Amino acid sequence: MEDDEPIFFDNDHSDIKFYKDLIKEQGLLTCRDELDITCIKKCLSDFDYGFILFGNKAKIGQYSKSRVHSHLLKAYALFKHDDNLKLIEMKIICSSLNYKGSGLKILNAIYSFILSNKVETWIIYSLPPIKLINYYKSFGFEDIQTIYAGGKEKVHLMIKKIEYDIIKSNNQFCGLDTCINLNNVDDVNENNGV
């Protein structure tokens, strides 16, 4: 049975060891070898929250000695969240080309987290391929700065400001094209629009 939706986790999650091992084992392939294992391990040591999407590798009747080897990593994201500054900073976000839509599922899960936590700024460090940069731009990110290392283009700092509106007629809290019902959100301050 495959997981249809990304799983939210933090360092206290009951399956954190499995998730970290799965990312260490298959994270490079999922990131299309655009990063190195040192980068992935660094991100795994310095994050607040994450989302992971994976499925079963073994067919019915097959058995693998390792839980990690029995699953295929489709996509994952690790990020820092600063509630005081109302921002999230992506440490890493990767999706496999073999599983169409897995990256979009991760982005939608992150966006739901953003709405639920009233985040105002979303920071992503994008790898340089123009197709990827344009993909983030299609979601409203601005390409703020190109960061170089060793004379080579390394990453693009991309920022998205989240604007919220209170729709008083149906009591919803909205950002972009997604709304959540205010009856399910605590401590909404309508005076500042959040």
Q: DSSP code of 46? A: S
Q: DSSP code of 119? A: -
Q: What is the pLDDT of residue 97?
A: 85
Per-residue pLDDT band at 4 (split at 50, 70, 90)? confident
Residue 129, C-beta contacts closer than 8 angstroms, at least 6 positions apart: none
- Assess whether 21 and 99 both reside in one domain: yes
Q: What is the pLDDT of residue 169?
A: 44
Our count of domains for the chain comes to: 2
- Assess whether 112 and 169 both reside in one domain: no
Give 43-55 pLDDT, tens digit per residue.
Answer: 999 999 999 999 8
Residue 136 is assigned to a structural domain of this protein: no
Q: How many CB atoms lie within 10 A of CB 70?
A: 15
Residue 52 is assigned to a structural domain of this protein: yes
- Assess whether 82 and 21 both reside in one domain: yes
d(CA 23, CA 150): 27
* Better-predicted residue by pLDDT, 180 or 165: 165
Least confident of 29-33, 99-103, 154-158, 187-191: 187-191
Residue 169 domain boundaries: 164-194
Residue 125 is assigned to a structural domain of this protein: no
- Give the whole-number percent of the chain exceeding pLDDT 70: 78
- Assess whether 113 and 169 both reside in one domain: no
Residue 143 is assigned to a structural domain of this protein: no
Least confident of 52-66, 108-122, 164-178: 164-178
37 has a pLDDT exceeding 50 = yes
Question: Is the CB of residue 108 less than 8 Å from the CB of residue 117?
Answer: no
- Assess whether 112 and 168 both reside in one domain: no
Q: What is the pLDDT of residue 33?
A: 75
Residue 191 is assigned to a structural domain of this protein: yes
Identify the domain boundary among 91, 119, 147. 119
Residue 152 is assigned to a structural domain of this protein: no
Identify the domain boundary among 119, 152, 185. 119
10 has a pLDDT exceeding 90 = yes
Per-residue pLDDT band at 68 (split at 50, 70, 90)? confident
pTM metric for this prediction: 0.78
140 has a pLDDT exceeding 70 = yes
